[in-house]
Amino acid sequence: MTTNVEKTVEFKISRFDPTENRRYDSTFKVPIRRGTTILEALLYIKDNLDESLTFRQSCRMGICGDCAVNVNGKPMLACYTQVLDLNMDQLLIEPLSNAPVIKDLVVDMQPFFDTYKRIKPHLIKPADELKKPDEFPQSPAELKKYWDLTLCIKCSICNSSCPAIIDEKFLGPSALTATYRFVTDSRDQGAGERLKPMADNVWLCTQCSSCTLFCPKKLTCAEAILEDHSLIVETGDIPRTVKDVLESVYKYHNPMSTTQSKRMDWAKDLNVQAYPTVTKADVLFFVCCSNVYDLRNQAAARNMAGVFNGMGVSFATLGSEEWCCGDHMLRMGEKGLFEELAMHNIAMFRKLETTKIVTLSPHCYNTFKNDKPYKDAGLKVQHYTEFLAEALETGKLKLTKPMNKIVAYHDPCFLGKRNDIFDAPRRILRAIPGIKLVEMKRTGQSSFCCGGGAGRVWTEDALPEKRPSTNRLHEALDLGVETLAVACPYCVTTLEDAVKVLDVENKIVVRDILELVKEAM
């Protein structure tokens, strides 16, 4: 039975005409009924308004993966997505990213399938075993290990949202997830051979988690790639740069190869209490290796201390007993090392009596909140942007000094995509008098990674044009903003590096929100 038209939605479609090599937009008004999908809306346009509109579709039920497109910047299956669920009156429909466009919304999937072939997506066994007529039985427990990863429909949505794939050396989340699927299959005997094609490039994955976030079949691709990292770490066949980072943390408990006794140097002339001098405070300020040792990022630590003091907050750090939180180590696949760091930090959290932990880095925040054993330790943790947004609301923090700036905010993946914290940083920026906050094209959940996660901040050796950081900075430059605000020390490092690489120091500056807050107090 046909339902009533609920509303009319404007579809703006980004198109490409290959005969004239021309990109252009077309806009259509489409009547939407309850249950109308994006695909049905596209079919309505083709049948009634413009028969030249070109897009792919086949099964119309989320199985073939053909109909994937970008809707308002997010990749999704057109046949799986109901228009009314998006709650918008205007929609921008674009072809998937990271693939050459053939015509309108149709992209060339051949490179995707060529890469897929490279990982041998079939069981590998000695030839004589394959000739035997016997079945290869499996227990339900063995099947369960990889079953969820078999549900991939090869839609390429994960690849289209992946920042690492701008370097064609990278195999991409779909192929890397499938590799792990076969390695964990008890019938497969190709583990050694499977790891080789990824050994020199799997490290380009920043663990931003876009692939997991957007996969329509809910495959946990980022987690599978973490397991790939782990398998390669176990073989010891890892690049020198990765080895150096891991060895530094083994030896010094931080990735900067600096002695822990220098961990409070950033606070030398400031009023900052630390364990064991104090054993009680309202807030445990977890500073992060980057803010402690990186001279540039010490500014954020100093500013946070200033803000705490300005607000009269009783706070203390763990001093030299603060070890690396281990987030990067875990994402690089070094689970044992991560566990050691976590156990130490949890023991220290118990020694310093506090009501909550406030972190500067989204990476510390994420791992304290989401990764065992931290997750099981019952920690109350806030990222500093949540803490300050709350303080603004209660009137404990006042931002009064104006600054005339046009600012864009770059969402750090470990704060946004992984923890849904999109609003608090923006509330702070909007509260600073004189700041005009503008949004980048790829924003919120669709934000584009800075390229620093999973240790890549220390191991980056890609050509500048293949780095996520330069790609992201171009976007900010195209927007014409003079300040790119971030809320993560690793974003500061990668994006500031991009400013230098692109030689645009006179056009744009990267500032942690804390620097702006301190100036506005």
Interaction mask 49-68, ligand FES, x per CB under 6 A = --------xxxx-xxxxxx-
3-state secondary structure of 150: helix
Q: Which residues contact 258 (CB under 8 A, 6 or more apart)?
A: 252, 293
Q: Does 77 bind ligand SF4 (CB under 6 A)?
A: no
The minimum distance between CB 100 and ligand FES, in angstroms, equals: 21
Identify which of residues 334 and 386 has a Cβ nearer to ligand SF4 in the complex. 334
What are the C-alpha distances in Å from 240 to residues 1, 83, 128, 236, 293? 64, 49, 39, 10, 22
Q: Counting Cβ atoms within 10 Å, is residue 112 exposed (0-12), middle (13-18) or buried (19+)?
A: buried
Identify which of residues 38 and 408 has a Cβ nearer to ligand FES in the complex. 38
Identify which of residues 59 and 347 has a Cβ nearer to ligand SF4 in the complex. 59
Structural contact between residues 331 and 228, judged by C-beta atoms closer than 8 angstroms: no
Identify which of residues 225 and 486 has a Cβ nearer to ligand SF4 in the complex. 225
Evaluate the omega torsion of the peptide bond into residue 276 and state whether it is cis, within 30 degrees of 0.
yes
Q: Which helix (H) or strand (E) holds 498?
A: helix 489-501
Q: Counting Cβ atoms within 10 Å, is residue 499 exposed (0-12), middle (13-18) or buried (19+)?
A: buried
**Pick from 73, 154, 67: nearest CA to 448:** 73
Could you say which of 222, 301, 481, 516 contacts ligand SF4 (CB under 6 A)?
222
Q: Which stretch binds ligand SF4 (CB under 6 A): 114-122, 217-225, 349-357, 386-394?
A: 217-225
List the single partner that 63 binds among ligand SF4, ligand FES, none, CB under 5 to 8 Å by kind: ligand FES
**Pick from 293, 295, 304: nearest CA to 264:** 293
DSSP state of 119: T
* CA 177 to chain CA centroid, nearest Å: 16
Q: Does 225 bind ligand SF4 (CB under 6 A)?
A: yes
Identify which of residues 9 and 175 has a Cβ nearer to ligand SF4 in the complex. 175
Q: Which of residues 151-180 bind ligand SF4 (CB under 6 A)?
A: 152-158, 161-164, 173-174, 177
List the single partner that 174 binds among ligand SF4, ligand FES, none, CB under 5 to 8 Å by kind: ligand SF4
List the single partner that 77 binds among ligand SF4, ligand FES, none, CB under 5 to 8 Å by kind: ligand FES
| Torsion angles phi and psi, residue 363, rounded to 5 | -70, -45
Q: Taking every pair of C-alpha atoms in the chain, what is the biggest distance, in angstroms?
A: 79
Q: CA-to-CA distance for 178 and 510, rounded, in angstroms?
A: 37
List the single partner that 57 binds among ligand SF4, ligand FES, none, CB under 5 to 8 Å by kind: ligand FES
Identify which of residues 60 and 344 has a Cβ nearer to ligand SF4 in the complex. 60
Q: Does 208 bind ligand SF4 (CB under 6 A)?
A: yes
Q: Does 438 bind ligand FES (CB under 6 A)?
A: no
The minimum distance between CB 77 and ligand SF4, in angstroms, equals: 9
* CA 470 to chain CA centroid, nearest Å: 16
List the single partner that 156 binds among ligand SF4, ligand FES, none, CB under 5 to 8 Å by kind: ligand SF4
List the single partner that 222 binds among ligand FES, ligand SF4, none, CB under 5 to 8 Å by kind: ligand SF4
Which residue ranges make up the site for ligand SF4 (CB under 6 A)? Answer: 65, 152-158, 161-164, 173-174, 177, 205-211, 215-217, 219, 221-222, 225
- Name the site residues for ligand FES (rule: CB under 6 A): 57-60, 62-67, 77, 79
